[in-house]
Chains A and B, each alone.
Chain A
Amino acid sequence: MIDGCRILLLDDEPLILMDLEFAAEDRECRPLTATNVREALAHIEAQGSVSCAVLDVTLRDGETCMPVARELERREIPYILHSGDLNRQEGTLAALNARLIAKPACSSKVVDAALSLAEPAASRQAS
């Protein structure tokens, strides 16, 4: 496993998270998984070197990925949105100017889409 590319994966559904995690490992990058905003922010703070991220929009307990997205933007870390809640989250989706992949989608395509946005150096290392 090459440590160059760290991909933050945020999803409140463990099985989807695991699927994304496997897909990230297949691409030989290091998945950092989070099931809520707190965990995701902790990853961003702690490692300080998240290369890119896949964010589920609607999370448990009424949370959305908004705080995570804003923090990533502040640090100029690219991310994509991965959501099945297109009707209710129109506002959130519009506020975040990021690529959206509608669920259900192929996990490796989702991960590839995020990796393609990562720093060229990181993705070269990862591939």
Chain B
Amino acid sequence: MADRPEVHSQASQRDPNARPRRDMKDVGHEDRFSDTSGVLFEQAMAQTRMAVCLSDPNLPDQPIVFANRAFRRLTGYDEHEILGRNCRFLQGPKTDRAEVSRVREAIENEDVVVVELLNYRKDGTEFWNALHLGPIYDAQGKLLYFFGSQWDVSDVRAAREEERHARAMARELSHRIKNMFSVISGIVNVMGRVRGVEDTTSEINSRIHALGRAYETTLDEASVGVIDLGPAVKAILEPYAVDERVKFLGNGAQVPFSAMSLIGLVLHELAANATRYGAWAEGYDGQVSVDWQRRDGNAVLTWIETGGAPISGAPAHSGTGATIMNRMVAAARGTIEREWKPEGLHAVLTVPIEGGNT
């Protein structure tokens, strides 16, 4: 039988040398869907949820010669309202002309194109149509049809738009937060100068900065209310410029935003202390390893110093920093254990982050 209606899309075959292919059979116009394969084709076309149409480029204005049930359901038109018309009847005032000309170019060049077009149903409502269009040839390489598949991607576009919007909002927010921390810090500095208490204000500011950096890492996760501990810990310790002298051991643990300020301030106190008296003190080549884990509903942060200035037991008086740290940890119903080992401070901070047992 010469007229087996096997039709082949060139969708994935842009190479013009690839056609005509031997497996492409001539498709007669009159009985194109008449034999077994034709029946299968028709049934498949009838059942698929993908809207499909074929248009005939050999007729004036390239009319649609076939449209399946999904196409009719998607557009709201009956078959007799579709057949014989050019596809452009789905376009409307808000359809992007640039995208339409991409379609026209693809048709002229017998090319494959995928575009998203704003189309209109019979009742005038809009939908976003992901249109996939490509030429279909017969065995002799003669252009028979253009195959068009339509998919309503309105929901996908809305979700994409929403996501884009959310990300833009998160970034704007992140920028504003950091700027706000800078402004606060500016106010504190200026007041300090006016009152002549620069030392005090610079201490206040070092804490404000540590807090700011705790929230510095990306806010993409902001909507779920958690923050990745790893990047936050690294950001907090960044200004101590101790690249080679700090080891980060933690994994991808996350904590709620509410726990971050405490962790940020405790890390700041530990780092400041290490710089003054411990592993990072001038003249020593000590190391700090920082580990963070989620364990039994707690965030557990372990800070181990080695090779710094020698310590002989716990300091006689705990400084302001340590006092602040202790009170803050207590307020969060957490604990901080410090062990002054000869080789350096060994501190473990435990912050409850789950459950109501605070």
Size range of the chain A interface in the assembly: 20 to 34
A19 to B190, CA, bound (A): 6
Q: Are A103 and B178 in contact (CB under 8 A)?
A: yes
Tell whether B186 is near chain A: CB-to-CB under 8 Å: yes
Centre residue among B178, B185, B186, B216 by max chain A CB count within 10 A:
B186
A88 to B169, CA, bound (A): 11
Tell whether A121 is near chain B: CB-to-CB under 8 Å: no
Q: Are A13 and B183 in contact (CB under 8 A)?
A: yes
Q: Are B209 and A105 in contact (CB under 8 A)?
A: yes
Shortest CB-to-CB span from B153 to chain A, Å, is 27
Tell whether B261 is near chain A: CB-to-CB under 8 Å: no
Chain B residues whose CB sits within 8 angstroms of the CB of A109 once the complex forms: 239
Residue interface bits A24-65, CB-to-B below 8 A is 1, else 0: 000000000000000000000000000000000010000000
A81 to B202, CA, bound (A): 22
Tell whether A91 is near chain B: CB-to-CB under 8 Å: no
Tell whether B206 is near chain A: CB-to-CB under 8 Å: yes
Tell whether B149 is near chain A: CB-to-CB under 8 Å: no
Q: Are B171 and A87 in contact (CB under 8 A)?
A: yes
Q: Are A15 and B187 in contact (CB under 8 A)?
A: yes
Tell whether A18 is near chain B: CB-to-CB under 8 Å: yes
Tell whether A73 is near chain B: CB-to-CB under 8 Å: no
Q: Are A104 and B185 in contact (CB under 8 A)?
A: yes
Q: Are B205 and A106 in contact (CB under 8 A)?
A: yes
Chain A residues whose CB sits within 8 angstroms of the CB of B193 once the complex forms: 22
Q: Are B206 and A102 in contact (CB under 8 A)?
A: no
13 A–B pairs (Cβ distance < 8 Å), ordered by A: A15-B182, A16-B179, A16-B182, A19-B186, A85-B178, A87-B175, A88-B172, A88-B175, A103-B179, A104-B181, A104-B208, A104-B209, A107-B185
Knowing that A22-B193, A85-B174 touch, tell me 6 more A-B residue pairs with CB under 8 angstroms. A19-B185, A19-B189, A23-B189, A102-B213, A102-B238, A106-B239
> Lowest 5 CB-CB distances: which A-B pairs, in order?
A84-B178, A19-B186, A104-B181, A15-B186, A104-B212
